[in-house]
Structure 1
Amino acid sequence: MPHAGLKTIIALSFVLAIGFLLVILSSALYGQYSPLFVVATYLVAPIPNAICSRYASSYNDDFMDSGSSASSVLDLGRFLTGFLVLMGMALPAVLAHAGVIQLGAMVMSIIGGLLIYGTIIAFTMFFQEESDF
């Protein structure tokens, strides 16, 4: 991956700010603060993947094959992360279907949440440490 420059950091910060702005506006413009739960799900979503990848990388050894244990842990982390991302997109749809929030708030919340999570993924891709081994 390319090294992150100052322009990349500024662009990703701008997109993250737009995502948070959309989620906050989806709550403030329509007077219902339920769409703010999306922010929590998108902030918690990368945590299982980070924990499980750290756990699996601690068992990678040059002399021994970690076998299916490390890959199972990685798969679990990816599954939980995917579940939380999907929950972040589905929660506004369920709230709109139940009549708790309006359709405009749902659309703004989903788009803002996708921008937030996309920015988190881009940050992790640009600032990932590469090993020489």
Structure 2
Amino acid sequence: MAAGLKTIILLSFVLAVGFLLIILSCALWSNWLPLLVALLYVLAPLPNSICARCAGADDFSADYNSSFLDFGNWLTSTMVVSGFALPITLAHAGVIHSMACIMAMVGGALVYGTILTYSGFFSETSDDYF
């Protein structure tokens, strides 16, 4: 499936709405701690991409080494779960307002979903030979 200009425009709009929700969850209640959610979701795909580059045949074995991929998946899932758990924990502790928690979680989900969709549409792998 070829991704075109309309896909990029739609993804940028959804990303902007996600960041808007996160910033509004901070600004409306004058507490900037939910901004950490955006940091977690922006950094979440990095372990997968870094560990995917390290995976492959190594010096000791010609077989494919998936331990790097497993570690990258674990680290990414830990960051994504932390992105949802951080606002819930802060709201439960009374540090942020409960509506700010909901806005930060929805905004974070939009940001991370946009990153996943972009990497899915614009990945460099080709299945032409299979």
Q: TM-score, normalised by structure 2?
A: 0.91
What pairs up with 1:71-82 in 2 under 5 angstroms? 71-82=66-77
For 2:99, the equivalent position in structure 1 comes to 104
Is 1:126 equivalent to 2:124 in the alignment?
Answer: no
- Number of aligned residue pairs: give it: 125
Within-5 A mapping of 1:1-133: 2-57=1-56, 59=57, 64-66=62-64, 70-131=65-126
What amino acid is aligned across from residue 109 of structure 1 in structure 2?
Answer: A
CA offset at residue 83 of structure 1? 0.3
State the distance in 2 between where 1:3 and 1:65 align.
33
- The Cα of 1:65 is off from its aligned counterpart by 2.2
Gaps of at least 5 residues in structure 1 are none
Taking only the aligned residue pairs, the percentage that are identical comes to: 54
- Superimposed CA distance per residue, residues 23-55 of structure 1 (whole angstroms, 9 cap, x where no aligned partner): 000000111110000011011101110011111
Shift of residue 6, structure 1, vs aligned partner = 0.4
Gapped regions of structure 2 (runs ≥ 5) = none
Q: Which consecutive segments of 4 or more residues in structure 1 shift more than 3 A?
A: none
Q: Counterpart amino acid of 1:113?
A: G
1:109 and 1:130 map into 2 onto residues whose CA distance is: 33
Q: Distance in 1 between matches of 2:98 and 2:13?
A: 26
